[in-house]
Amino acid sequence: MSIKVRALGDKDFFSWLGLFEGYSEFYKSELTDEKALQVWSWIIDKSESLTGAVAVTDEGEFVGLAHYREVPNTLTATRGLFLDDLFVVSEARSAGIGRSLIEFAKGYATTHRLSTVQWLTAPDNETAQRLYDDVATRTDWVTYEIEL
């Protein structure tokens, strides 16, 4: 399967939505129309920091997505890229698409003179971690969260 990774565009909503539904299902998170429209509005609004990319086959089928945003790195006084979401449809996994999406995000960071690309994953997402261990350095940081 040949794929091309490119930035998301205004006309990609419905194809993107199918991927975002799959991503939400993978993480057992209920996706409502309101949530989907809010995330999409962030992606297409140039004044928002969230943007994204998609992996598309030669036939035009969307098979993967990445959402990312610039963030300040206070200890280094630089800016980095935070990869919020990375998803590949199950039938296209292990074909290098996740790696291509990460490389696209890395290219975005390089072009925008950002210093790092960072992301989190679930501790039981061992398949993805094999890729992540190959393309990045696992950190010692522990994540905490307060729900409001």
In angstroms, what CA-CA distances link 70 with 29, 83, 112? 24, 9, 9
105 neighbors 53 (Cβ within 8 angstroms): yes
pLDDT digits (tens, 9 = 90+) for 104-116: 999 999 999 999 9
| Ordered DSSP codes for 94-132 | TSSHHHHHHHHHHHHHHHTT-S-EEE---TT-HHHHHHH
In which band, very low, low, confident or very high, does the pLDDT at 1 lie, cut at 50, 70 and 90? confident
What does each C-alpha distance from 107 to 78, 80, 81, 112, 114 come to in angstroms? 17, 12, 11, 9, 10
Three-class SS string for 123-142? CCCHHHHHHHHHHCCCCCCC
Helix or strand or coil: residue 75? coil
Residue-wise pLDDT for 67-87, tens only, equals 999 999 999 999 999 999 999
- The string of pLDDT tens digits covering residues 53-70 is 999 999 999 999 999 999
Entry pTM: 0.94
Domains of the chain: residue spans and CATH: 3-135 (3.40.630.30)
Question: Residue 72: what pLDDT?
Answer: 97
Asked whether 52 and 8 are in contact (CB, 8 A), the reply is yes
Cβ within 8 Å of residue 147, ≥6 positions away: none
